[in-house]
Structure 1
Amino acid sequence: MQTNSIDYKNIGLTGFLLLFTSFLFAQEVNWVSFSQAVELAATEENPKKVFIDVYTDWCGWCKKMDKDTFQNPEVAKYMEANFYMVKMDGEGKDPIEFKGKTYKFIASGRKGYHELAAALMQGRLSYPTTIFLDEELNMLSPVPGYQKPEPFLNIAKYFGEDIYKDKDWKTYAGAK
């Protein structure tokens, strides 16, 4: 008499192979320090634009954007190909040299803020805020608030593909 039995060994092997394949093809973002991004932009023959994720340790939306948006395979692949990716603690304590000036932590209220983060966010201390700089490290735009993967990718492509040079944001966004 033949019984229908489940071959658990093959199911386990199949599951392992699927999991391994997903890790193999997952795109990881290579986060660099702000100083490293500045150096790369200055020394590489074809520099990329710079993307800065300004966050704080206590910001729940920052953590959600890390998990949902930056770890999204399509977003990660695009960003890695087109930008130097920087994480910047908006309340970081270490001084940062940029364009001949030293930016420092400023104690204020219960916590404080980093001068460079505040300058990049144009004085609006809102977390998360993502910053886009061109290849010469000039401001393209700060983008405050949590962004889901698809809208974030549209914003990233607007700057990453130089669409901003020919179209204003409303025209571009309206065409999407």
Structure 2
Amino acid sequence: MIRLAGAAFLAVLFTVGLSSFEMPAGFPPDKKAKVNWLTPEQAYALNAKEPRKMLVDLYTDWCGWCKVMDRETYAKAEIAEFINKTYYPVKFNAEQRQSIKLGDRSYHFMAQGKGGIHSWAMLLSQNKPSFPTTVFLDEKMKLIQPIPGYIKPDEFYRIVTYFGGDHYKKEAFEGFVKGTFRQLY
């Protein structure tokens, strides 16, 4: 199984030259849609009935780039539709103080100084919190890949299709972008 480390994955994004690719036809800039965000508990319960990958958007209330990603990336109709169809999407405030319980595991807010961070956010970010971070989990809720930082819509679409279509199991991301993605779209 091919798994890319966060830094290596981001390096691939830029060395492949993603800026030269266009989103598939039908990505008008003014067409908006809505991702049907769930809580972690809701996604966990749905996954128990019908297994599906999860996409977790780790954010904070003070994060400006998180708001830009909501407005420019998640609001694109084709992206929102693909996420809703392929994943259980979870929007999770990494600084929320409310504990969560997923199966037999509980996760809690960890106070630090004047603030703190939630233990689930730390787990998903591999103890390297950065916001926004998009986290991909498989159908068994095992970590596939956290990707820190703002991601433009064109790049994000390639990433969600790479993980959502299980291409990460068969080929490296750069091969997917150069070959399979071009054939699909």
With the length of structure 1 as denominator, give the TM-score of the two structures: 0.80
Per-residue Cα deviation, 1:63-83 (whole angstroms, up to 9, x for no partner) = 000000000111111111111
Q: Secondary structure at the match of 1:64?
A: helix
The answer to whether the 8 Å contact 2:40/2:102 transfers is: no
1:173, 1:145 → 2: CA distance?
Answer: 20
Structure 2: stretches of 5+ with no match in the other structure:
1-30
In structure 1, which of residues 120, 123, 134 is the aligned counterpart of residue 124 of structure 2?
120
**What secondary structure is seen at the aligned counterpart in 2 of 1:135?**
coil
Compute the RMSD of aligned alpha carbons.
1.7
Question: 2:35 matched to 1:34?
Answer: no
Deviations 1:114-154 (A, max 9, x none): 00011000001100001011111111100100001110010
- Match 2:139 to one of 130, 135, 138: 135
Ranked by relative contact order (alpha carbons within 8 Å, sequence separation 6 or more), the top structure is: 2
Larger Rg: 1
Q: Any residues of structure 2 matched to 1:85-96 within 5 Å, and which? A: 85-96=89-100
Q: How many angstroms does 1:174 deviate by?
A: 4.5
Q: Between the two proteins, what is the percent identity of the paired residues?
A: 41
Selected match of 2:164 from 160, 164, 171: 160
Shift of 1:168: 1.7
Aligned residue number for residue 64 of structure 1: 68
- The answer to whether residue 87 in structure 2 is matched with residue 83 in structure 1 is yes
Runs of 4+, deviation exceeding 2 Å = 25-28, 98-101, 169-176
Give distance in 1, aligned partners of 2:130 and 2:60. Answer: 10
